[in-house]
Amino acid sequence: MSEAVVAAPPRLPPVVKSLGAVSLLNDLASEMVYPLLPAFVTSGLGGGAVTLGVLDGLSDAAAAGARLYSGWLADRPTWRRPLVVLGYAVAAIARPLTAVASAGWHVVAFRTADRVGKGMRSPPRDAVIADAAAPEIHGRAFGFHRAMDHAGATVGPLVATALLTLAGLSPAAVIAWAAVPGVAAVIVVWFTLKKETRPEPAPPPAAPRRPEPSYSIALDRPRSPLFALIVLFAFSRLPETLLILRLQDLGVAVALVPVTWAALHVVRTAASYPGGWVSDRAGPARTMQLGWLLYAGVCVALAHSSTPAMGVVWFLVFGLVAGATESSERALVALLGGAERRGRLFGVYHAAVGLAALPGGLLLGALYAAFGGTVALLMSGALAAAMVVAALVLSRARKELP
């Protein structure tokens, strides 16, 4: 009597693990700098909430062109490695230069250059991950990469705190020291992709392990309702610099902000791989909707928080949103088409969410400056909740969204 043999799920390819290590180093450098920017801009350079809104929004929007162009080039196999390496190199150079800023717009300019580097590397890097991993583990592959990314973002603020408190360095000096892990990331990615070549598309299996997911119909083109909702979520999200400002408004000391930021990324690290696992089983669209609903709840809770402790708790809950949305968004984009145009599709995805961040950051930053954090948070949460309702209505009306 023969026993049924259950095939083990594919393992994560080595290149996915190596690119995860690169992201760990790069985000270690980035997050030594990022949590210090609100205090650096508002206290040292005389900026305010609008400047912080522009900081995130304009930097992501300026990177949109780089994302589109690099995504188009990424469909040419010989361009992937130089684009990824150059993208990390640009960020490694621009990031520590923030230490010499003497005005708020200088910080915006250096942050924009940093994000342009991200725009250059993100589409080809995500295309490499999608090509290397089997389709049934796309969620886990991107979840692993995001977990490593957030692990670096956990260590970075702790290093910054140690340099500030134990070594007695100034914020500008800490920002300058971020060059060290940034350069290490460039070296590692150089050797990781040195022999990486674009794999040939695998032939379709004779008997698929499970039916083709219904949400693939909704993703035949970037103008699908589901893609539009992804972009709208980028528009509606409060810039994270403003979330940090909200904590400061509630009384969280500036010296504790890097530690709180590190704790947020502990949550994100722990949630990213399980979020990818859920995406592989429940479907990326359903997993994303859960993340949007959770974000709306966090906004309402932060808006009504009245103590530093309550603010920190809900700020940490906000970390679960990344686990539900980041890997599932990328898994959806990987379904848009075959390997021949995957780079372009990732470029459109990254560019669209980056462009949406600029007006969203400006609007929410202006609301924060004019009416306070409570109004800005409630507006952001209401937009996210409206998208959940829209997705449910579309799923019933068109039967395209799971």
Residue spans of the domains in the chain: they are 14-198+214-398
Of 66 and 21, the structure prediction assigns the larger pLDDT to 21
- Structure tokens given for 3: 């026993």
- The string of pLDDT tens digits covering residues 114-132 is 888 988 999 999 988 988 8
pLDDT of residue 298: 95
The CATH number that domain 14-198+214-398 falls under is 1.20.1250.20
Concatenate the DSSP letters of all residues of 103-170 into one string.
SHHHHHHHHHHHHHHHHHHHHHHHHHHHHHS-GGGHHHHHHHHHHHHHHHHHHHHHHHHHHHHTS---
d(Cα 362, Cα 152) in Å, to the nearest integer?
28
The b-or-e profile of 331-369 (16+ CB within 10 A means b, else e) is: bbbbbbeebebbbbbbbbbbbbbbbbbbebbbbbbebbb
Residue that is written with structure tokens 């060290």 in the block: 180
| CA atoms lying within 13 Å on the CB side of residue 43 | 10
pLDDT of residue 220: 40
Distance of CA 163 to the CA centre of its chain: 26
- The reply to whether the predicted model has a pTM over 0.95 is no
Residue type, position 147, single letter: A
- The string of pLDDT tens digits covering residues 173-217 is 888 899 999 999 999 999 988 755 444 444 444 444 444 444 443
Instruction: Give the mean model confidence (pLDDT) for residues 135-144.
Output: 90
